[in-house]
């Protein structure tokens, strides 16, 4: 097949999740309800049956589903409010089977921004299947009493076009 010059362009897509220490999720691996660091009493829904706080534990959550053909072009972790309480609180981000490809144990104990590492998930093979981005939070010693972060991913989708470029 003859390759022709590109005459189309697409806007980058951006998806984000904003999370707080007192939010809770259903863990994507063990399917139990866990907070993102707080005790169940401090959670946004303390009446949730079976809710646990992950002291010296991890929370795994498929937080951002990507469409088939997505190619990650950038992204960042923004810690808006530093985690208070645990001696260590880290976040990793990737996909199942490659859970640290975008972020690898980045601390949530200080505010700031951390750009994604784009060396692993940039290949077509790992992204074209529409895998979910998997966040792993790890805590040690104590539950959190404060903390808020956001994960923002930028991507394009193969074969998608919104603009026709002038030749």
Domain architecture of the chain: domains with CATH: 11-159 (2.60.120)
Query: Residues 49-75: pLDDT tens digits?
Result: 888 876 668 899 999 998 888 888 999
- Beta-strand ranges (E) seen in the chain are 8-9, 13-20, 24-26, 33-35, 58-65, 70-84, 88-95, 98-107, 112-115, 132-140, 146-157, 163-164
Contact between residue 71 and residue 40 where contact means Cβ atoms under 8 Å apart: no
- DSSP 8-state symbol, 42: G
Give the tens place of pLDDT for each residue, 83-134. 999 999 999 999 888 889 999 999 999 999 999 998 765 445 545 677 899 9
Are 14 and 32 contacting, i.e. CB atoms less than 8 angstroms apart? no
Distance CA 37, CA 90 (A): 11
Sheet holding 88-95, edge to edge: 58-65, 132-140, 88-95, 98-107
Instruction: Tell whether pTM > 0.75.
Output: yes
Per the CB < 8 A criterion, the answer to whether 141 and 56 are in contact is yes
């Amino acid at each position: 097949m003859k390759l022709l010059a590109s005459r189309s362009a697409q806007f980058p897509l951006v998806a984000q999740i904003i999370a707080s220490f007192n939010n809770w999720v259903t863990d994507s691996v063990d399917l139990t309800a866990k907070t993102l660091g707080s005790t169940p009493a401090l959670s946004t829904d303390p009446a949730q049956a079976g809710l646990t706080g992950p002291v010296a534990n991890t929370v795994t959550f498929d937080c951002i589903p990507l469409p088939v053909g997505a190619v990650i072009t950038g992204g960042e972790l923004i810690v808006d409010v530093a985690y208070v309480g645990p001696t260590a609180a880290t976040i990793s981000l990737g996909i199942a089977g490659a859970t640290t490809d975008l972020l690898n144990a980045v601390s949530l104990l200080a505010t700031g921004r951390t750009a994604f590492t784009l060396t692993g998930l940039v290949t077509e093979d790992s992204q074209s299947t529409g895998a979910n981005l998997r966040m792993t939070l790890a805590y040690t010693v104590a539950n959190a009493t404060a903390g808020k972060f956001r994960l923002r991913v930028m991507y394009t989708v193969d074969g998608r076009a919104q603009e026709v470029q002038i030749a």
